[in-house]
């Protein structure tokens, strides 16, 4: 199955999270759905369930009905269950007409007596029970808050979704233990169990409790040979979801057949690999092996690498001196001269057999003097990317929310996804001058479970700086307990006096402001991986708890100090960015092309032809440019040295 198809799988009951729907609902295209459904015949043929008896609660309609037919087709004897006798009978007849073996037992499993009858009758008619799938569930009244929900409606949801599963699992486990059957209990949950959902509180709570019950059952059954596992489903085109979606949305949801390969895997895979786990259908469909072993958000990710660029079928090597590698916003002048001098006698100055001083005193002092902040206001990391990762792990938990700009740094998106954190984005607002941070809308988007706000100043890739005055007003609208993270990886490239410098505000504000900076860009030390964060002591006391021990090498610390002392390199870098930014903008304007010059060492420029043609021209010339298209006609244009900028402009204007 393609990664594209798997990523499209809807992993949460869409409207359960209100405004998050636009971020977390992925609707199938027709061709992608066909690819997914094409997996079903292979799954059926490769999973032999001959001789197994499978009891599926709530199988007279929806997902359960589809599973009953699929398991019968895979060779199992199936017990169909539901409260409506005529519906149960019809499903059984359909399975039998297709050559499968099935029995129907119409009982309400939400009562202890009903669950006991289901298991007892299943054994009486089929001779045994090997697999119990606790699928029966009801949504309850949709759209009602907990204070509006009638106690009887709440109780009914808990009775069916939780108590019924417990009663059935208990009866099945007793029979399996008494008859030495190494059986399997599969509890069907949903993505709503991991995230608070408006309007269906009873349903969400019942599924969350069902997952905890699964873990408890697995703990207590660990030595019995019984396998207990829970599965989370996303939104499917079933009668239950019809109550929550409008007609058009419901028709676009994938059919319940989409999860058949997933259930066949959970029913047949090695029990010790599944026992006690809570597997998600959307992750399994993307990477079965990864979800089985990782059992979490990481199963949705591959290792990140930059896509290679090819010329005449050969991948371009960005370290080849014949290639102009401009795709990572590196300093066009390379390392500062003082750092080069340091490296010349590094072998004599440094003994790398010794661990560094974990407090990094020389760099701490240098930064304190430069930014006029106390020395205990700093923490360090292996590049600012490690600091962003640590910020998320420090302040947010899976299922909670953070706010960021749209667009934001692509790695922030990835880190949130890896941790199961919801990244809600606020688009930039268009102004007469271009674009601006929509801080007022950002403040309005703060919710009860917003755990931090992540801003980039200047923004990447638009290059829009945050106005200091607007930021001060924004902070007053942010609750005092929510950290506001300002990633200033490119700030040194800005000469705009009105742009925020977060180090100037951390002590003055009573809010939790955290600034992030790096030596990778402006200071030309990307290969040494040096990042730092700063904030008031009470903030840093929390944030520094996850600082990796010895995260900076002695050489990196010394190089950072030398870079701070090299005023000539810094001035040349800033002057070049300012001068070339204006020159590039003027030449583009002469050609009738628009640009957003920004305040960093890249800018957004309009293409005279489709961007792909421009990229092809750069590739053919051996120039690696940043990839990314804005509003279908703007690309990211690096600000390099004058001669390289002229070459890049010539290619752009003549592509």
Q: Which residues are catalytic?
A: 203
184-190 and 131-134: which strand pairing?
Answer: parallel
Identify the residue whose tokens are 């020159």.
583
How far is residue 538 from each of residues 387, 409, 512, 514, 545, measured CA to CA in Å? Answer: 17, 27, 9, 11, 12
How far is residue 481 from each of residues 395, 450, 477, 539, measured CA to CA in Å? Answer: 10, 10, 12, 10
What does residue 12 show for φ and ψ, rounded to 5 degrees?
-155, 150
Inter-residue contact 636 to 462 (CB < 8 Å): no
**Which helix (H) or strand (E) covers residue 582, if one does?**
helix 567-590
Helix axes 62-73, 85-97, angle to 10 degrees: 30
**Spatial CB neighbours of 614, under 8 Å, sequence gap ≥ 6:** 607, 635, 651, 652, 655
Inter-residue contact 544 to 378 (CB < 8 Å): no
What's the chain's Rg over C-alpha atoms?
A: 30
**Spatial CB neighbours of 610, under 8 Å, sequence gap ≥ 6:** 633
Give the chain's largest Cα–Cα span.
88
CA atoms lying within 13 Å on the CB side of residue 515: 26
Q: Is residue 366 classed as helix, strand or coil in its secondary structure?
A: helix
Q: Is residue 430 classed as helix, strand or coil in its secondary structure?
A: strand
What does residue 540 show for φ and ψ, rounded to 5 degrees?
-65, -30
Q: Which residues of 624-633 are buried (b: 16+ CB within 10 A; e: fewer)?
A: bbeeeebeee
Cα 646 from Cα 655, distance rounded (Å): 14
How far is residue 124 from each of residues 60, 129, 454, 493, measured CA to CA in Å? Answer: 20, 10, 61, 78
Nearest CA among 6, 8, 399, 445 for reference residue 192? 399
**Spatial CB neighbours of 67, under 8 Å, sequence gap ≥ 6:** 56, 59, 133, 135, 256, 260, 263
Q: Is residue 325 classed as helix, strand or coil in its secondary structure?
A: strand
Q: Which two tokens stand for residue 256?
A: 């319940």
């Amino acid at each position: 199955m393609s990664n594209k198809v798997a990523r499209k799988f809807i992993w949460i009951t869409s409207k359960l999270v209100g405004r998050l729907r636009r971020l977390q609902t992925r609707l199938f295209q027709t061709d992608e759905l066909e690819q997914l459904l094409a997996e079903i015949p292979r799954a059926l043929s490769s999973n032999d369930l001959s001789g197994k008896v499978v009891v599926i609660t709530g199988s007279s309609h929806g997902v359960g009905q589809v599973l009953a037919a699929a398991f019968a087709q895979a060779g199992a004897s199936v017990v169909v269950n539901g409260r409506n006798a005529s519906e149960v009978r019809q499903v059984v007849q359909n399975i039998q007409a297709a050559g499968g073996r099935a029995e129907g037992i119409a009982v309400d499993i939400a009562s202890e007596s009903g669950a006991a009858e289901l298991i007892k009758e299943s054994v009486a008619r089929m001779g045994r029970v090997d697999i119990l799938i606790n699928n029966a569930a009801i949504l309850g009244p949709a759209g009602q808050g907990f204070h509006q929900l009638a106690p009887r409606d709440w109780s009914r949801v808990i009775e069916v979704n939780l108590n019924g599963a417990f009663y059935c699992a208990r009866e099945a486990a007793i029979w399996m233990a008494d008859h030495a059957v190494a059986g399997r209990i599969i509890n069907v949950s949903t993505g709503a169990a991991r995230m608070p959902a408006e309007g269906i509180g009873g349903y969400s709570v019942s599924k969350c409790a069902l997952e905890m019950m699964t873990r408890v059952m697995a703990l207590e059954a660990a030595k019995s040979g019984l396998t207990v596992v829970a599965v989370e489903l996303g939104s499917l085109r079933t009668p239950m979801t019809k109550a929550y979606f409008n007609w058009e949305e419901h028709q676009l949801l994938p059919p319940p057949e989409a999860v058949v390969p997933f259930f066949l895997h959970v029913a047949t895979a090695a029990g010790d690999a599944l026992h006690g786990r809570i597997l998600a259908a959307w992750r399994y469909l993307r990477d079965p092996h990864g979800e089985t072993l990782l059992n979490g958000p990481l199963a949705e990710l591959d290792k990140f690498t930059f896509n290679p660029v090819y010329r005449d079928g050969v991948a371009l090597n960005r370290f080849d001196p014949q290639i102009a590698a401009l795709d990572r916003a590196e300093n066009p002048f390379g390392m500062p001269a003082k750092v080069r001098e340091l490296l010349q006698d590094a072998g004599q100055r440094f003994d790398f057999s010794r661990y560094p001083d974990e407090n990094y005193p020389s760099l701490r002092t240098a930064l304190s003097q430069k930014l006029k902040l106390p020395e205990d206001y700093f923490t360090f990391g292996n590049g600012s990317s490690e600091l962003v990762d640590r910020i998320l792990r420090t302040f947010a938990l899976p299922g909670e929310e953070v706010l960021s700009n749209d667009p934001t740094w692509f790695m922030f998106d990835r880190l949130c996804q890896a941790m199961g954190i919801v990244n809600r984005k606020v688009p930039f607002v268009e102004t007469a001058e271009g674009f601006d941070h929509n801080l007022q809308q950002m403040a309005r988007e703060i919710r009860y479970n917003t755990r931090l706000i992540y801003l980039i100043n200047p923004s990447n890739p638009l290059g829009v700086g945050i106005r200091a005055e607007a930021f001060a007003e924004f902070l007053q609208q942010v609750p005092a307990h929510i950290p506001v993270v300002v990633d200033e990886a490119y700030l040194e490239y800005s000469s705009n006096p009105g742009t925020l410098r977060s180090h100037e505000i951390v002590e003055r504000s009573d809010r939790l402001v955290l600034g992030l900076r790096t030596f990778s860009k402006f200071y030309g030390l990307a290969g040494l991986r040096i990042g730092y964060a700063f904030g008031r002591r009470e903030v840093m006391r929390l944030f520094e708890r996850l600082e990796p021990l010895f995260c900076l090498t002695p050489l990196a610390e010394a190089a950072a100090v030398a870079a701070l002392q090299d005023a000539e390199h810094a001035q040349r870098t800033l002057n070049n960015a300012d001068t070339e930014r204006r020159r590039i903008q003027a030449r583009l304007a002469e050609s009738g092309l628009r640009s957003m010059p920004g305040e960093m060492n890249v800018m957004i420029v309009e293409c005279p032809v489709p961007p792909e043609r421009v990229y092809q021209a750069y590739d053919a010339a051996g120039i690696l440019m940043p990839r990314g298209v804005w509003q279908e006609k703007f690309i990211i244009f690096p600000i390099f040295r004058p001669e390289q900028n002229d070459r890049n402009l010539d290619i752009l204007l003549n592509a």
